[in-house]
Structure 1
């Protein structure tokens, strides 16, 4: 009898060991596989069982959370959704996250380990950490001014603070309401399909994710390279530039949109936006030095994040002399995001220094304690301070005497550069209207804001598309909002 009891006990122990081994297999070895299984809703239920942290602009939240009473309990809400969509992106139960909602998801969802004051206690209890908040650098007045200025026209605006790199405005139109995608029902599906089918691409962040030919606004870069290289010196000396200008090694003759460009001085050429003068200057500077100046200002950098990735602005270093001439006036393969061109204007305003732009001022716990702060940003000298001072003078002349008069602000010092960029096969596309600028208030020691605005012109208005006519008033509204804040 005793022998049978021992056998039964041994068998029970064997079963218990097998049970424990299987439990370890399920909970440890196979846990990642079960977590990834689409049929497992537990991670989603846990993720949405508490409100998400907020994104703030100007000290006020532009996001929120709504209790749906469902298994996926809390759903994201947005205040002024279309206005701030290029900053926030969306947080959807069905389609994931984008932009700042994605880049700061760990803090906003409460998953960031820094939010757990007692990690071991959290592991034991399994209680979720409240989501933290993300405080942005956005100035609401500047954001609204850019959005209203663009109106229903496709385009984008980026505004930065030259002395710090803080992004003050980031606007893209047409826009959309991220709240329409927050849930997981039929309404969110309909909105998703409609937005993806829209030819205007409202979910594309044109300010940081689309590159355009910068046109004549790139002449700021070419002028900087020419001044730094000593190819140009006296702003008022003739440049020995023919009109038209034969592109080297070709029979193609480059012309101008205005008169008075033959042998024009650098000052006159900048005011009148003479293609011939800047194409020749670019060729004289050479591809190596032109590339070096462009890259010092941020071109060809594929690693910029703000904290979400920014599309790479490009200046082609593998060009012949004719292609270099076109590249030097912002055509051929030269492409730039509005944020990149705002960085160019900011470098001129800040004595030739380029500061890495950033969108997040700090992150905080739900109770207000600071998790992380922006701190000091990297700085590089993209051009000589004297070159930047001369460019500021040239940009002031454009606003006070040239094609940028629509950007003038009473009582402020404003510098700018217009641009009308051709594109498409045989330049068949409607041009893009550009304006890059900086502004300094009457009581300011240094410029407080640098702006780049681009408006995608309509084919019907092709003859009326100019940077001074379409983009300069938008930039002016943004600069005035910053100076008045």
Structure 2
């Protein structure tokens, strides 16, 4: 063999060896990453090759599967899609998955290794899909959704003793079934939702933050009692009316000039929602102490998963004295999700212990056997039992003869706090209406509720926490307690 031919033969052999090595690398070392690549169409074909498992509410599926004529043999269907969209999220052949549909995908599509039996291990066929059982109370969820009606807003209800999320509703909402497939109609429905200025796909209960307004006064009151600034909710405070914001020539006043806010007790200040009292209280405590109390209740936690991650609620830092005063009434840069404010109420209702909120009770395999179960766990010791007891007492005064009378339920102990939060440049936009509450039926059953109404279409003068959000909270509490 002459020299040029020998060189060509060696070079060709090296190319063959390189090709074999690369093929082996692709088929063995990178097989798993290629299988899991979102752009691999085989993934979707496998995922939708059979009926999906279901998400259950109150023991009944709110999802299903329907046969199709395409390569993706099944698509997701939803029962009462708009009602449960903030809970389920969506599963779309074209646009992927979100929320419980995404976080429990392996169980729902049968790819979770815990579902595989001997047959699946040998044949590599998909196992029978499992189910996800939520903590949602269907009656409370329906009451929340129907209570919001045409308003823009959100509701969260929690069982204070366990942390179970009983209601997670938002409006406007959307039906995930309208874009679950891959047809032109599905694409049209998706595009319409993306262009909707009302943002129906935004999970307002978990992912939208609002200034909490006067509902935040519960946090400041807890800080004052825990710190010893005041010994009880019935001790007079040192609170002028009006109150001059420190370092300014601006006098803060109260909504009602006739309200007995001067040197009012915490009970009276909550009853009449006295801005001057809590602005002065926040300054007297200092932002560090208020921040510490807020953090115990869940503020500034960027990793709050239920298991869907909630947006971080914020108590700001680096404020001057006048800004600290405004933060005492839930303004300046204080922001909170409806979930966060339900957590505040839940901690007060449960004697000062804040339980970690959770949305999934358990996941099961294709035969109904339990794969995972969520056990109730404490999030924090948010306040002493004495402080919690005093705040519950003060909150009942708000409902019995204060700004929250719209939430009264005969035969049930109800405590609450209203909030009307300013927003927009120079308070130019209509305020947000809040109602944060708890209810106990005397038989060991409790529920904590937060309602935020972002837009009701009402005239500015008619917007109030008690007037708009209170009746919604009442209907949810009644449903959760079975009243």
Q: TM-score range by the shorter chain?
A: over 0.9
Q: 2:351 and 2:111 mapped to 1: Cα distance?
A: 42
1:193 aligned to 191, 194, 212, which one? 191
- Offset at residue 239 of structure 1 (A): 1.6
8 A contact 1:338–1:454 mirrored in 2: yes
Superimposed CA distance per residue, residues 218-271 of structure 1 (whole angstroms, 9 cap, x where no aligned partner): 000010001111112243333221111111111222111013212222221110
Deviation for aligned residue 1:37:
7.3
Change (3 A) 1:30 1:374: closer
The 5 A counterparts of 1:110-189 are 110-118=110-118, 122-189=120-187
Once the two structures are superposed, what CA deviation does each residue of 1:335-393 show, in whole Å capped at 9, x if it has no partner?
00001000000000000111110000000001101001012313421111100000000
Partner of 1:225: 223
Tell me which residue corresponds to 1:475: 473
Structure 2: how far apart are the matches of 1:142 and 1:38?
Answer: 37
1:206 is matched with which residue?
204
Match of 1:254 in 2: 252
Distance (Å, rounded) in 1 between the aligned partners of 2:85 and 2:304: 20
Task: Give the TM-score taking structure 1 as reference length.
Answer: 0.93
Say which is worse superposed, 380-389 or 262-271, in terms of deviation: 262-271
Q: Secondary structure at the match of 2:206?
A: coil
Taking a change above 3 Å as real, the CA distance of residues 342 and 34 of structure 1, as seen in their structure-2 partners, is: closer
- Is the CA contact (8 Å cut-off) linking 2:152 and 2:456 kept in structure 1? no
Matched residue SS, 1:135 = strand
Kept in 2, the 8 Å contact 1:313–1:340? The answer is: yes
Equivalent residues of 2:150, 2:456 under 8 A apart:
no
Residue 429 of structure 1: how far off its partner (Å): 1.2
Name the CA shift for 1:18/1:277 in 2 (closer, same or farther; >3 Å): closer
In the aligned structure 1, how far is the partner of 2:454 from the partner of 2:49?
A: 43
Give the Å deviation of 1:99.
Answer: 1.1
| 374-383 or 18-27, which deviates more | 18-27
Match of 1:434 in 2: 434
Is 1:342 equivalent to 2:342 in the alignment?
yes
Partner of 1:58: 58
In structure 2, relative to structure 1, the CA distance for the partners of 1:239 and 1:75 (3 Å cut) is: same
Paired position in structure 1 for 2:404: 404
Q: What residue is the counterpart of 1:42 in the other structure?
A: 42
1:16-27 matches, cutoff 5 A? 21=21, 23-27=23-27
Distance 1:37 1:293, change over 3 A: closer
Contact 1:88-1:99 within 8 A present in 2 as well: yes
Aligned residues: 469
RMSD, aligned α-carbons: 2.0
After TM superposition, give the deviation of residue 123 of structure 1 in Å: 4.4
Consecutive unaligned residues of structure 1, counting only runs of 5 or more, are 1-12
Are residues 37 and 171 of structure 1, via their aligned partners in 2, closer, same or farther at CA, if it must alter by over 3 Å? Answer: closer
After TM superposition, give the deviation of residue 41 of structure 1 in Å: 2.2
Measure how far apart 1:317 and its partner are.
2.4
Tell me how far 1:126 sits from its aligned partner.
1.6
Structure 1 residues 194-203 or 254-263, which shifts more? 254-263
Q: 1:429, 1:459 within 8 Å by CA — same for their partners in 2?
A: no
d(CA) in 1 for partners of 2:482, 2:436: 19
**After the TM superposition, which of the residue ranges 173-182 and 258-267 deviates more from structure 2?**
258-267
Rounded Cα–Cα distance in structure 2 between residues aligned with 1:213 and 1:55: 33
Asked if the contact 2:316–2:333 (Cα under 8 Å) also holds between the matched residues in 1, the reply is yes
Listed as ranges, the matches of 1:276-425 within 5 Å are 276-425=276-425
Change (3 A) 1:459 1:250: farther
Preserved contact between residue 457 and residue 465 of structure 1 (Cα < 8 Å): no
Distance 1:42 1:267 in 2: 63
How many Å separate the matches in 2 of 1:436 and 1:409?
15
Q: Is the 8 A contact 1:430 1:458 kept in 2?
A: no
**Offset of 1:16 from its aligned partner?**
10
CA distance in structure 1 between the aligned counterparts of 2:247 and 2:282, rounded to whole angstroms: 15
Name the CA shift for 1:229/1:69 in 2 (closer, same or farther; >3 Å): same
Instruction: Report deviation, 1:21.
Output: 4.9
Residue range with higher mean Cα deviation, 474-483 or 254-263: 254-263
1:97-112 matches, cutoff 5 A:
97-112=97-112
Closer, same or farther: CA 37–287 of 1 in aligned 2, 3 Å: closer
Q: In structure 2, the residue corresponding to 1:288 is in which secondary structure?
A: helix
Q: Distance in 2 between matches of 1:413 and 1:34?
A: 58
Offset, 1:427: 0.7
Q: Is the CA contact 2:412–2:441 (under 8 Å) kept in the aligned structure 1?
A: yes
